[in-house]
Amino acid sequence: MGALTGSPIKAFGDDKPVNIKLSTISQNFLGLPDEFSSYDNARVAVLPVPYEATVSYGKGTSHGPDAIITASTQVELYDDELGAEQYKVGVATLKPLRVTNLKPKEMSNEVEKAVLQILCDKKLPIVLGGEHSITPGIVRAMHAVYKNITVVQFDAHADLRQEYEAEPMSHACAMARVRDICPAVQIGIRNLSKEEAAWANNEKFPIFYADKLRKLDNWINDAIDAIKTECVYVTIDVDAFDSSVMPATGTPEPGGMNWYQVTDFLRTLTRQRKVVGFDLVELSPIKGFHACDFLVAKLAYKCIGYWSA
């Protein structure tokens, strides 16, 4: 991960540099001991953002971060694919961001501040949602540090509405707000409105629709070629996975991606571009059913492993 250079980062036109005290919690991601979870020594910071305010179908995303962290304690620390124990880079788990009662714009500002602090501390942010409306604030922070950046989105939905239910910061508008900031490449899309499709077609947005992926042998390289910047931020809405794999999400969709399509892409991406952060959002845990929680926890660990390999 690149080091920050130049003057202290300033948020929202404020004259004061970002200086937020971030503290860790006792329930560490992966259940790591203090030796590998100390914030001062860690290269990775896991930030839970249990926000749920604009969900439009199934509910429960506010419980996603806790379920992911709990499931992560069952993830094997040795990665057979990478032949390494990637947790040794140090993974600190921060206290959940207190944004539950905030309006979407206020929440987004708080997320931006927290992620800016993580970047100022020269760590890789892994943000656990919560609904997808958390992503634009993260991307604003990323863009403040890495001016030349592209967002890669895994998702069933385009999230390109300009507003939804009179809210421009809705989870259904996440990528419209991201595109206000920087370019994006969208993967796994299979549900969007007529207006979203028209905008995407008119602007020739690089969108890799789910029904085309199974027919394209070289889609991974094509998607990476569509990224015109060195730095990349990755946002993973878990409904990108097929609903038979990921039923624990507010808006499940059939016809989605499988585990190896997503991980093969992430492995290739981290080898060819400078990935500077990840978020994993929209898990709505199902009581007594842990497979989906574990999938997201292991995917987060894969993100760390590919980044640090």
Confidence label for 55 from pLDDT (cuts 50, 70 and 90): confident
- The mean per-residue pLDDT over the stretch 177-182 comes to 98
Residue 17 has pLDDT above 50, yes or no: no
- The pLDDT score that the predictor gives to residue 4 is 36
What confidence tens digit (pLDDT) does each residue in 236-282 have? 999 999 999 999 999 999 999 999 999 999 999 999 999 999 999 99
The beta strand positions in 139-260, using DSSP E, are: 149-154, 184-189, 207-209, 231-237
**Contact predicate 73/80, CB 8 Å:** no
Q: What pTM did the predictor assign?
A: 0.92
| Fold of domain 29-308 | Arginase; Chain A (3.40.800)
Residue 16 has pLDDT above 70, yes or no: no
Rounded CA gap, 153 and 175, in Å?
8
Confidence label for 54 from pLDDT (cuts 50, 70 and 90): confident
Confidence label for 59 from pLDDT (cuts 50, 70 and 90): confident
- The mean per-residue pLDDT over the stretch 63-84 comes to 97
